[in-house]
Amino acid sequence: MSNLETHLEEVKQKRQRVTDLKNSIEEQEKQLPYLQEEYRDAVANDSDNVDDLFHEMETLESKLKADKHKLDTLKEVTEDHLRKSAMQVLDSFHEVKPNFEQRGKEIKDKYYETLKRHKEEMDSINKEIVEINNKYIDEAVRYESLIDDHAIKRVIKRKHPHATGMRPDLDKEHRKEVEKAEKEGRLINHKVYNRIKRAAEGNDHVVSLQGGMMYE
């Protein structure tokens, strides 16, 4: 088992001890009222087992008090120990990577072998990626032309739920333009506007391969 797995198993076991003691205390707390009631009835009826019930009740109360104190202490020492153990495990992280490096090398070699073997196919796929991205840009440019042809404006609304006006930092001239556009039904959400502009400028791709080959 690795240091981490050993630690996690220890966490499970030690916290189970805390849980078991907590459950035991809860059971005792449930039992005590019944025992107290039984003792009161015995006293009222002058039963022969009054003393036995008293000692049993006294023993349970004493154990309950001791177990509660033990629980507090156990929680404290357990978490303190587990925290120190966790620190040791964290300090050993430098030992983790070597366990994966051999398999990583095998995968890397396999990748480059596959890349070499299927380079022609990969080139074709990359060209398809560029083609679909360019088609998307062309389509976005068509949408962008609508914005220009119809003098569409964007408006940035306040984020506050009770505020519906435009941002106060917009200059007066721009505010007038926006207000006029709003009256004429030429306003679109700024997120839609920005998405179209970004796509038309080629800053948004249908397909993007991180670290992969792409032809322009």
Least confident of 147-151, 168-172, 178-182, 212-216: 212-216
Q: Are 43 and 85 in contact (CB under 8 A)?
A: no
**Which pLDDT value is given to residue 41?**
92
**Which pLDDT value is given to residue 216?**
44
- Say whether pLDDT at 45 is over 50: yes
Identify whether 83 is part of a domain.
yes
Going by pLDDT thresholds of 50, 70 and 90, the confidence category of residue 161 is: very low
- Average pLDDT (80-91) is 93
**Which pLDDT value is given to residue 78?**
95
| Domain shared by 48 and 82, yes or no | yes
Higher pLDDT, 155 or 144: 144
Q: Are 16 and 78 in contact (CB under 8 A)?
A: no
**Which pLDDT value is given to residue 211?**
53
| Domain shared by 92 and 9, yes or no | yes
Give the burial class of 196: count Cβ atoms within 10 A of its Cβ; 0-12 exposed, 13-18 middle, 19 or more buried: buried
The sign of the CA dihedral 94, 96, 98, 104 is: negative
Least confident of 25-34, 69-78, 161-170: 161-170
| Domain shared by 90 and 129, yes or no | no
- Average pLDDT (21-40) is 93
Q: Report the Cα–Cα distance between both ends of the chain, in Å, rounded.
A: 50
Report which of 138, 130, 127, 126 is spatially closest to residue 199, judged by C-alpha positions: 138
Share of the chain above pLDDT 70, in %: 88
- Average pLDDT (141-165) is 66
**Which pLDDT value is given to residue 171?**
63
- Say whether pLDDT at 43 is over 80: yes
Identify whether 170 is part of a domain.
yes
Q: In the predicted model, what is the mean pLDDT of the chain?
A: 84
Identify whether 89 is part of a domain.
yes
- Say whether pLDDT at 64 is over 90: yes
Number of domains making up the chain = 2
Structural domain range at position 60 = 3-96
Residue in the structure block whose two tokens are 């509660």: 68
- Average pLDDT (119-130) is 85
C-beta neighbour count of 122 within 10 angstroms = 15
Give the burial class of 24: count Cβ atoms within 10 A of its Cβ; 0-12 exposed, 13-18 middle, 19 or more buried: middle
- Say whether pLDDT at 163 is over 50: no
From CA 200, how far away is CA 138, in angstroms rounded?
7
- CATH number at 86 reads 1.10.287
Identify whether 105 is part of a domain.
no
| Domain shared by 15 and 91, yes or no | yes
167 contact partners, CB below 8 Å, separation of at least 6: 156, 158
From CA 87, how far away is CA 19, in angstroms rounded?
24
From CA 33, how far away is CA 61, in angstroms rounded?
10
